[in-house]
Amino acid sequence: MATPEWKKWTIADAGTVKDIADTAKELAEQIKTTSTLATTAMGIVKIIAELQSANIFLKALEAIADELIKSIQDMKDAGYYYLYVDPYSPIKNVEPVTEKSYGFEQLRDDSGRPLYWNTNAPDPEATTTHSVPAPMQHVFEPKLAMPRKLVAGGWSPYTNSTVDPFSLMSPFPKYSAEQVLKTMAEAFSDPGDVPKYERIQLEGPPAVNPTKGDIVFNEQGDPVAGYDPEIVYGEQLYNMGSKNRSGSDHTNEDLKNGMWKSSRIKINAKIKSGKPNIQGNTEFGAGSSAIVMLIAAPSYEIFIESFNAFSKLFSDIPEFMEASLDKLMDTYKEFTDPPLQTINLTMCDSQYGLFAVGDVIRGVNYGGLGTISEILSTEATSIVSTALYTITDDIGITRRTLQEKDGNSTGRYQDMVITIKPIATKEANAVETFTPQDSVREQEIKGYWGVAPEKYPNYMTKGAATFQFKGVSATQFEETSPMSKRKGISKRIYPKYGTVSMQKLTVPVESISPDFNTIASYQVIPMWNEFFEMLENFVVSVKGYIATSSAFIQDMIDTLNELIEFLEEMIETITKFLAFFEVDLSGAGIYALHIEDQQEGNAGLASGITSASGLPKNLGYAAGIVFVGVEVGGFNALDKFMAPILMA
């Protein structure tokens, strides 16, 4: 897994916005030239008078082209450092944590409160309580389910917490807002995050392509040894310096007099910007500022919705473009809405009750869990055995004979084919499969685990609290009084049960449209690809127009027709494209922090990030991005260009 790294971003210099900007600029420049050429062509055919009305437009058109070129230039000039802390996407650079501890399953009351009892009391069962009086705590112990079962959030002798572990569990890995901010603050002082330069393979003589062991030169023009083209270095290197490789002066007078600076060639290129290295300066006002955007929510569902919206809007930042959001959504859908399964059960004992729609079942040894949504078939289990009998006739002669015996003549045991809606388990944080030969037991809800709104029912085997061994403890329930024994009243609650014979492959149910499809970036933004294809074609057409305009008038009219059609399409596309950016994120879990121009450098920014107030608590799921801008000549581009976008 990668670690969070500082990178450089210019609004109009990354991803798709770069494409828009480059193409629009090229287009504007192209059209300015074309307009001039066309005017000249028209002058030649002496119809300038007829074109007066068009010339007004031409002037305005050129003005807009200038404005367009200027705004693209402005945006391109404004570059920032950014750091993206990403715990959730497939290219995550920090590891979120799943809070989960295993222990023995502890019995709980109907409200879900863990139960305790005093096993040394004459009637331990009668001491069962969810609330142990303080002076009695040393004699009470957790009332564990029998048979013992290791479950998530169970009781462990190694954890001595008074907090119910169920209240700390979450089905989705967590990386809180505080952790994101801490990661950001630490990244300001990461010693390994420095600029990195990789070799450029240049064409030319060996002098511009130094090989391993050659002397090369640094920014100051000093020679450096130990060069290896395969190694990524932390500084810009050149093929030429202030002196020769041997250390003697340049023989060429121009080079000797300083021309070496303009004549030298870069032999490597920056591949990583490294962290902003702002030391802070109170005397000269080397100010720096930062804008932090946090996408954070108390629930995973709201988080992924917010993240989705934010990343689509900012898909010109490479990480947001690359982050496939399907995985995030899939995790959530797999947990909350898994597909149906069909299971064949055998030996379902009707004496304990046959399974019915709505019953929740779970494997005894393996984790499969689900609610029965349909009983597809029920038929008597075939239990036929062949026995060898010896029969004696009335004169005493014996004979052996084989006889078939139906072990299920009363139909007590039934085979059932059922459809279940699987339920993700707290152990796997996902749906578990049912395993052949494993028994399944009816379940009941005993409290909830997780924190609202991600609270899920805790299922335990029905009657687990009344489970007993024949013998010592049998009297506790079954024979609590001679009267109940005579009446055959038993407090033991028996779950329905059966055995898994196999899990069937299921063909997914036909969905009801509209479906949630896998969305690629070009689908996310309407006509994303078409837009750029059109821009490209437009420029090509304009070039063709210049070549043919003066030759054939009819050809020119045809070309104009095509161009007009193209422009109409382009305007329509831009209108749709614009609609995509009309996204209201006011309801999403997005928080912003603007640390305005300050003088303490990296340290001041880091401290500002961790000490700012006003962030809501309990934002358990979070990702974030911090932009850093440096004041140059009294001007901080971040505050001018970025703040209006992000702090709207």
Please give the residues from 87 up to 116 whose contact with another protein meets the rule CB under 8 A: none
For 593, counting Cβ atoms within 10 Å of its Cβ (0-12 exposed, 13-18 middle, 19+ buried), the class is buried
> Under a CB-based contact definition with an 8 Å cutoff, are residues 166 and 447 in contact?
yes
Nearest CA-CA partner of 361 in 233, 225, 246, 460: 460
Residue with tokens 């809007």: 313
* 593 touches another protein by CB under 8 A: yes
Binding residue (CB under 8 A) for another protein from 5, 14, 15, 28:
28
**What does the alpha-carbon distance between residue 203 and residue 609 come to, in Å, rounded to a whole number?**
47
* 58 touches another protein by CB under 8 A: yes
Q: Restricting to residues 520-559, name those near another protein by CB under 8 A.
A: 553-554, 556-557
Binding residue (CB under 8 A) for another protein from 37, 54, 168, 194:
54
Region binding another protein by CB under 8 A among candidate stretches 86-94, 108-116, 433-441, 608-616: 608-616
Region binding another protein by CB under 8 A among candidate stretches 51-59, 265-273, 349-357, 509-517: 51-59
Nearest CA-CA partner of 151 in 103, 219, 107: 103
> Under a CB-based contact definition with an 8 Å cutoff, are residues 468 and 476 in contact?
yes
- For 121, 478, 519, the CA distances from 471, given in Å and listed in that order, are 18, 11, 62
Q: Which residue's CB is nearer to another protein, number 377 or number 575?
A: 575
Residue 483's identity, in one-letter code, is M
Binding residue (CB under 8 A) for another protein from 356, 561, 618, 632:
561
For the CB of residue 29, give the shortest distance to another protein in the complex, in Å. 12
Q: Restricting to residues 612-641, name those near another protein by CB under 8 A.
A: 612-615, 641
Q: Restricting to residues 139-198, name those near another protein by CB under 8 A.
A: none
Binding residue (CB under 8 A) for another protein from 1, 44, 47, 134:
47
Binding residue (CB under 8 A) for another protein from 240, 595, 623, 638:
595
Region binding another protein by CB under 8 A among candidate stretches 112-120, 166-174, 344-352, 567-575: 567-575
For the CB of residue 54, give the shortest distance to another protein in the complex, in Å. 4
Q: What are phi and psi of 287, to 5 degrees?
A: -75, 160
Count of residues in contact with another protein, rule CB under 8 A: 76
Site string for another protein, 315-354 (x = CB under 8 A): -x--------------------------------------
For the CB of residue 20, give the shortest distance to another protein in the complex, in Å. 6
Binding residue (CB under 8 A) for another protein from 249, 252, 568, 640:
568
Binding residue (CB under 8 A) for another protein from 1, 44, 53, 402:
53
For 381, counting Cβ atoms within 10 Å of its Cβ (0-12 exposed, 13-18 middle, 19+ buried), the class is buried
* 232 touches another protein by CB under 8 A: no
Q: Which residue's CB is nearer to another protein, number 336 or number 599?
A: 599
* 418 touches another protein by CB under 8 A: no
* 51 touches another protein by CB under 8 A: yes
> Under a CB-based contact definition with an 8 Å cutoff, are residues 555 and 607 in contact?
no
Region binding another protein by CB under 8 A among candidate stretches 50-58, 324-332, 373-381, 631-639: 50-58
* 24 touches another protein by CB under 8 A: yes
**Residue 381: partners with Cβ closer than 8 Å, 6 or more residues away:** 346, 347, 348, 408, 413, 414, 415
Region binding another protein by CB under 8 A among candidate stretches 149-157, 220-228, 252-260, 592-600: 592-600
Nearest CA-CA partner of 267 in 203, 175, 182: 203
For the CB of residue 292, give the shortest distance to another protein in the complex, in Å. 8
Residue 125's identity, in one-letter code, is E
CA angle 329, 293, 186 (to 5 degrees): 100
For the CB of residue 147, give the shortest distance to another protein in the complex, in Å. 51
Q: Which residue's CB is nearer to another protein, number 401 or number 554?
A: 554
For 300, counting Cβ atoms within 10 Å of its Cβ (0-12 exposed, 13-18 middle, 19+ buried), the class is buried
Q: Which residue's CB is nearer to another protein, number 295 or number 369?
A: 295
> Under a CB-based contact definition with an 8 Å cutoff, are residues 15 and 317 in contact?
yes
Q: What is the DSSP letter of 108?
A: B
* 570 touches another protein by CB under 8 A: yes
For the CB of residue 558, give the shortest distance to another protein in the complex, in Å. 10
Helix (H, G, I), strand (E, B) or coil at 586: coil
Beta strand ranges found along 452-505 (DSSP E): 454-461, 497-504
Helix (H, G, I), strand (E, B) or coil at 100: coil
Q: Restricting to residues 275-304, name those near another protein by CB under 8 A.
A: 293-294
Q: Which residue's CB is nearer to another protein, number 64 or number 520?
A: 64
Q: Which residue's CB is nearer to another protein, number 27 or number 420?
A: 27
Binding residue (CB under 8 A) for another protein from 489, 564, 635, 640:
564
Provide long-range contacts, Cβ within 8 A and 24+ apart, for 59-68. Answer: 61/31, 61/35, 62/32, 62/35, 64/28, 65/28, 65/29, 65/31, 65/32, 66/28, 66/32, 68/24, 68/25, 68/28
Q: Restricting to residues 60-79, name those near another protein by CB under 8 A.
A: 60-61, 64-65, 67-68, 71-72, 75
For the CB of residue 451, give the shortest distance to another protein in the complex, in Å. 22
Q: Is the peptide bond before 482 cis (omega within 30 degrees of 0)?
A: no
Q: Which residue's CB is nearer to another protein, number 392 or number 613?
A: 613
